[in-house]
Chains A and B, each alone.
Chain A
Amino acid sequence: MKFLVVDDSATMRRIVINSLQRIGYSDTVEAGDGQEALAKFDSSVKFVITDWNMPNMSGTEFTKVLRSRADGAHVPVLMVTARSVKEDILTAMEAGVNNYIVKPFTPAVLKEKIDALLPAVAA
């Protein structure tokens, strides 16, 4: 299963990708912001993990655009972000995010959220 990992921090992209590898997912593609992510997204991507605060295009803007595309309307989007006030979480939901991880996170939390969304990938 191919993951698209979107974060403007190279450190965070490596941490997320290494965490994915640790829980058994090694097929990944990465992007530094929402615009690059849209350019790299195609139907082979089955799962998106995105940060919120990024230059050029934020994670919520990216998710909204993704949801408007036929090939991105139903792909699971997991947001991994430092933002954690209630209003932000609701905004992410409205943008089309399926679940939410607060930074700093542990691989266990990442696995739990991915597992919860896997049925959607299989469907």
Chain B
Amino acid sequence: MTSSRAHEVLYESEATLRLVDHELHELRSSPDQQRLPVLSDLPGILERANSQILSVLSRLREARASLQSSASEKFQATHDKLKQVTSATEDAAINIMDACDRASQMVDELDAIDAAPEPDRIKAAELRGSLRDEIFMMMGALQFQDITTQQLNHTSAVLVEMEQRMLDVAKLFDANGEGLEMEGRAYDDIDDGTFDPNATVTNAEGRQALADEIFTLTKAPAA
């Protein structure tokens, strides 16, 4: 149900109920002999009022069903996204800790080589190379931060959208909508262009293979 249609139905219902109220008031205040013509109109007016109220209830049920359906899907997607953020953060932390453990062991081995009467320079060079690889692996693991930022921005955008939908429903009951505006300042920094709703840290190899396949099959522009 669109907002304008909802306002229309509510307006018509309100007008009908006012008419009912007015007729009932007339009925109460009029002398007995004048009540008969008013009474004859009353069933029609009440029937109209009933129809309008049923229409409002029907529209409200539609709005509730629509909101319930979309909210359920959106909140499930948001929940999944937050689980991915938690998982990506934990995986990155574990990878970094594992790399720290390996790096620490290599430093111990380098110390042992240095302490030997005849240090094995070749072995030491290999260890230093491996140590650089571990340090670099730690740095690469921090890429999760860029992906999770995008996932969190997507989650924020979904929550803002849901709040806006809730406000739209609330406004159905208050045409002026006073006090129902969103506090825009908190959402100024959510820019749809800065995140990919499908951003993920999972299956990077598979996704890279798809990109490679497309670039191989479809001739990429010559540089």
A binding-site residues for B, Cβ under 8 Å: 7-9, 11-12, 14-15, 18-19, 22, 52-55, 58, 74-77, 81-86, 89-90, 93, 96-107, 109, 117, 120-121
Report how many A-B pairs have Cβ atoms within 8 Å.
110
B187 to chain A, nearest CB (A): 15
The reply to whether B191 and A82 form a contact with Cβ atoms under 8 Å apart is no
- The answer to whether A84 touches B211 (Cβ under 8 A) is yes
Given contacts A22-B136, A90-B218, 4 further A-B contacts (CB under 8 A): A9-B145, A12-B146, A15-B139, A90-B214
Ordered by A's residue number, 7 sampled pairs between the chains whose C-beta atoms are within 8 Å are: A9-B145, A19-B136, A83-B196, A86-B210, A89-B214, A104-B143, A121-B223
Nearest residue in A to B205 (C-beta to C-beta)? Answer: A102
- CB <8 Å contact, B201 and A104: yes
A-binding residues in B (CB < 8 A):
136, 139-140, 142-147, 149-150, 191, 193-196, 198-201, 204, 207-208, 210-212, 214-215, 218, 220-223
- Nearest-neighbour CB distance to chain B for A69, whole angstroms, equals 14
Interface pair A53/B220, CB less than 8 Å apart: no
CB of B140, distance to nearest CB on chain A (Å): 6
